[in-house]
Structure 1
Amino acid sequence: MHIIPVIDIQDGIVVHARGGERAKYQPLKSQLTSSIDPFQVIDDLLQWFPFTTLYIADLDAIERDMDKSHFYSELAQRFSGISIWLDVGIKTQKQTSLYASISNIRLILGSESLTDLSVLTGSCTSQNILSLDKRGGLQLGLAELFENQQIWTDTMIAMSLDKVGENRGPDTDWLLALMSTSKCDWYAAGGVRGVTDLLNLQRLGVKGSLVASALHAGHITYENLTNLNRDTAFACKGGV
């Protein structure tokens, strides 16, 4: 199973996301790092475990339409050995062009932000990732993004914003409903409490999960991650 650490950036520092109530987010407190500087936090995470992918949500860009392309060009160059899934609140095709030259960045197209469906043209071969965002059971964004599977990307995220950082467990019913009608690779986001949730998601056939709070609180250990990676590799080789 593909486990992807999430880094939420607000006012230039790493914060602890909870419940999608962004005005209340506090600076990160973690067992894995003593820093709130994005570069140092990433350094510390990668020293702790060899993650291949990171997910970054830049709340300044999402909420204020800020152009952060120069910052992420520098960050991507610094961490060139990993894939960075980046949510900067993409709304239009023009915004995607700002990041097109950064080879190890995959842009997140969050339904709460996206207004220009042309961004999803040719999604079958696109590096972009569509995130279907919900809060309190309500779909965020254009209805077509949730209903028209023809514009879905090969890799998809089911994002339950109200569950983020709240220790309430993933929305497995929603994930199962999505997976039953599409062949996309689905990633769960929001609510993971620990390794038991990850194992349950793995059994359901979820490709991977975005995780933050459970990692920083020590509820997911190095050994847990190693075992999940080993089991995934074994399954890919035809193990039973």
Structure 2
Amino acid sequence: MIEDDPLSAIENILTGKISISSKTPQSTSRLERPKGQSTSADVLAKELKYLIQTFSLGDFITDYEQMSKVLLILEELQKNEKSLSLAQQAFIKAFRLFIKKAVTHRKECYIAGVKKVELNRAKEDILLKLQETKNTQEQITTSIFNANNRVIEISSCIEQLEEQLSKLKEERETFQLAINEGEKQRETLKNDSIVWAHQAKDLVFDLAEIEAKVKILGEQHEADKDAYVQFRASFPF
């Protein structure tokens, strides 16, 4: 699961859905020390400081192994919080909460980006359908217009040419049927257009919301970076 979706794995670790212990292979391999070497809070703090100074926020979020290592160190420091000052304890708790929120922000930003792409594709599909409908509707309108003109011409000829009355009436009936059929088709297309227009409206609204969300999450991500720099600068060890 970690290899398939590292962001979800990190989120599960932070929320406690997946426990991390000193027996975790990916974490302990880098935390092992030669026998006799201290594993005190000072050593853990130095290692945490090294990781914070070495890796950026983006590195931690995308590198599951480094994230696991940091979380394990934080967990061990909290277990030994009695040996820490109040300021150090507060920093450990605040930094762990910050990491959790940063991972959540990154995941939400990714999901919002995917949703935006999907909505844009749906919008393009609707626009294409509307354009095709518009072209078809214009063709039908032209056909109806031409047929109406012909009906007028034939009606005038009926008044002038009584001997051709029967033939002209038949021809007029043919064009009238074409008009009726065209009207039916136009009405059908009109109803379809109304449905698509509502869909387009909903899509544009959803897209506007998701774009705003992407912007906010993007700004939050930048704010997280700044906060991370402040955490790094205020490291109390």
State the TM-score, normalized to the length of structure 1.
0.24
- Larger % of helix: which? 2
Under a length normalisation based on structure 2, what TM-score does the superposition of the two structures give? Answer: 0.25
When Rg is computed on C-alpha atoms for both structures, the one with the higher figure is 2
